Amino acid sequence: MAARVNVVDEFDGGLGWIEDEYLKRASHALVVDGRVWLVDPVEPDDGPFQRVAALGEPAGVIQLLDRHSRDAARLAERLGVEHVVAYAGQNETPFELVPLVRWRQWREVALWWPERRVLVCADALGTIGYFLAPGDRVGVHPLLRLFPPRALARLEPERILVGHGLGVHADASRALQEALATARRRAPGVLVGAVNARRRGRRDM
């Protein structure tokens, strides 16, 4: 069943849609030369799906993370396009892939769109309370805080789009560098953020 979502992260290179639930799963569509690439998508209901369809011709569905596939395979089949398993090394796309995690049960790459300076992360970065310590605008995943993904340090994004939460569209490069530099030091504060987020989630249920 398609998820009920809200359209977010709109800019002239695409848009996103997000579930109004505790984990705030966010999906994105990026437009390159009139062709639309879906990234780690949850299948949306008709309203957002029509917005995505209006962006251009479907090009492919990209999966950045192995731990959950969301609706990537189903949407690729529905649209008649390739399911690009990026975390496994596939990259028949116009984007650069940045390896982040290569654990046995967690393989993840980030998507980097250098022409537009757009960074997309599935789980390594997030903006909901579960990821954030006090002072963070974007946070490193709690399980990566002791060894943050330094491969991202060379990037200077204008936008950061994440798999959980709203994107960062202002001063994104500084937010990224601060997140990486303070990941270890602010790790204890993530516990506070996680507890507060869970409490809020329970109140909203």
Taking residue 89's Cβ as centre, other Cβ atoms within 10 Å add up to: 10
What is the reported pLDDT for 47?
A: 81
How far apart are the C-alpha atoms of 40 and 50, rounded to whole Å?
18
Reported as type and span, the H/E element at residue 204 is helix 187-204
Thinking of the domain 5-204, which architecture would CATH place it in? 4-Layer Sandwich (3.60)
Q: How is the chain split into domains, by residue range?
A: 5-204
- Global pTM reads 0.91
- pLDDT score for 205: 30
* Sequence letter at residue 162: V
Q: How much is the pLDDT for 196?
A: 60
Tokens of 8: 């977010």
Instruction: Rounding to the nearest 10 degrees, give the CA dihedral for residues 117, 123, 129, 135.
Output: -50
For the chain (205 residues), the mean pLDDT of every run of 10, in chain order, is 83 96 93 98 88 96 95 96 96 97 95 98 96 94 95 98 98 98 90 58 40
Dist. CA 70–CA 91, nearest whole Å: 19
Instruction: Compute the C-alpha angle 18/21/22, nearest 5°.
Output: 115
pLDDT at 195 (0 to 100): 55
Q: How far apart are CA 165 and CA 128, in angstroms?
A: 5
